[in-house]
Every structure is written in C-alpha cells, then in structure tokens.
Structure 1
Amino acid sequence: MIFTGKKSQLVVMSVPPGGEVGDEVHGHVEQTLYFQSGSGESILDGEVQTITAGDVVIVTPGTKHNFKNTGTEPLKVATVYVPANHIDGRVHITKADADADSEDEAFGESNV
C-alpha cells in the first residue's frame, strides 16, 4: 500500500515466477495496472494477452480478471483503484495472506 486518498488508492504488488493474482471481479471498482518489470499474461473475461514491462491494463467494474507471471523474474505491478479497494495501511506479504483476509476483501465492495 503506497497511498489511500478519498477517491483512489495506489498499491504495488510483486508476483513471483509461476504465480498469479487470482481470479477477481470488482463490482464497483475500476483498476488501472502498470507493469513495471517482468512478463506474463493478462486475462480479462477469458481473453488472454501477453504483458511485459511498460504495459498498462485497465479493468472496468464487473470484469473477471487475473494476471499471471509466466516469466523468470518477479512481475512487478503498480495498480490504482478507484474508489479505494483495500483497508488503508493493510499490507499482505503473500497471496495466501491476502486470500485469508476476508475483512479487507469485503472493504472494496462496501467502499462505494
């Protein structure tokens, strides 16, 4: 978590080689992702696209999405959520930590 404002939030993530963000759908949240390094796949409503450093992907509300690291180095991503999608200051070191945090998961959809 880098910044949480009244209407947006900036988060950074690092997806290890072979890892993935996991399928998600945000009902009311728009997400813009900037891929800083690494390579992988962007999957939006089943459509697979290759992503590399410098790419930007926009996920509109209601879009099923996932991002997979298919490369050999971490896939580093900066993402902006509008509105904020996570509890301010909440940090998850691993995907398992994030998946286990039901309070944080529910926050994004209630923050409309």
Structure 2
Amino acid sequence: MKGFVDNIERLTEENGDFRRVLYTGHNLQLVLMSINPGDEIGEEVHEDRDQFFRIEDGEGEIWIDGVCNRVKADDGVIVPQGARHNVISTGKTPLRLYTIYGPPEHVDGTVHGTCAEANTSHEHFDGVTTE
C-alpha cells in the first residue's frame, strides 16, 4: 500500500509508548506519543521543521516561546520552526497525542517505550522513508 491509512484516533488512544513513528514520508512524519502524568518531552527547538500536535486524550500544557497553552482532547497546536517548546502531561491519565513533523525528525520505525529511553537516544532522521 502507498501512503498511510488507518484510524488515527484509535491508534493514538491505544498507544502506550512514549514515542512510536508510524509513517515517514519525504516531507512529513507521523508519530504517536503517550506522555505519563508529570512527564514532559523536554524543552526543544527545531530550527528547520514545523510540528503539529493533535491531542486525543488527557490534559497537558504545550509551551511555545514562554507562553503556556493548556490542551485537552480534540485540541490541535502548531509549533513553527525556531520556536522553543515543551509538552507536559498535567492530568491524572497519560496525555495521548499524535504529532506530524515537516520535514521528518526521527528514524523511521523508531519506538521509545518510555520518556527515559527517548532521552538516552540520540537518533535523528537519516533520510530513509517508510516506502
């Protein structure tokens, strides 16, 4: 099959991994995330890529250049390239979301089960796409 077709809401809500790359194209990458209560992705800046977040479950904060944006299910957020940002899970259940990077950020097929595992990994997109 060419491309990616599936029920993204179901996949996101069922995902228990901190980070799971589902599909990598030349210009976009689809990634599921599940951030446990009290955890965060850590402050970062992508100088060369935009990022879209869609919240499917839980509550959290997405900080963009020092501004706190409280988020919950059904919210969407775009972080433009060059913006300092962080995603923090503030609810009692995991913050479950999917994110789209343009261009890709991670190696295709990457799975980080936990935030700690992701923090020790230093992988970055290597130019290899899903298909």
Q: Aligned partners of 1:75 and 1:10: how far apart in 2?
A: 17
Aligned residue among 67, 72, 76 for 1:52 = 72
Please give the TM-score of this superposition, normalised by the length of structure 1.
0.90
When Rg is computed on C-alpha atoms for both structures, the one with the higher figure is: 2
Q: Aligned partners of 1:44 and 1:61: how far apart in 2?
A: 11
Q: Indicate whether 1:82 and 2:74 are aligned.
A: no
Match of residue 26 from structure 1: 46
4+ residue stretches of structure 1 with deviation over 3 A?
none
Q: Aligned partners of 1:29 and 1:91: how far apart in 2?
A: 21
Structure 2: which 5+ residue stretches go unaligned? 1-20
Please give the TM-score of this superposition, normalised by the length of structure 2.
0.78
Identity fraction in percent: 40
Equivalent AA in structure 1 for residue 68 of structure 2: V
Give deviations 1:1-22, integer Å, cap 9, x for gaps: 1111111100000000111111
Root-mean-square deviation over aligned CA pairs: 1.3
Counting matched residue pairs gives 107
Offset at residue 45 of structure 1 (A): 0.6
Aligned residue among 81, 85, 89 for 1:65 = 85
Structure 1: which 5+ residue stretches go unaligned? none
SS of the residue corresponding to residue 97 of structure 1 reads: helix
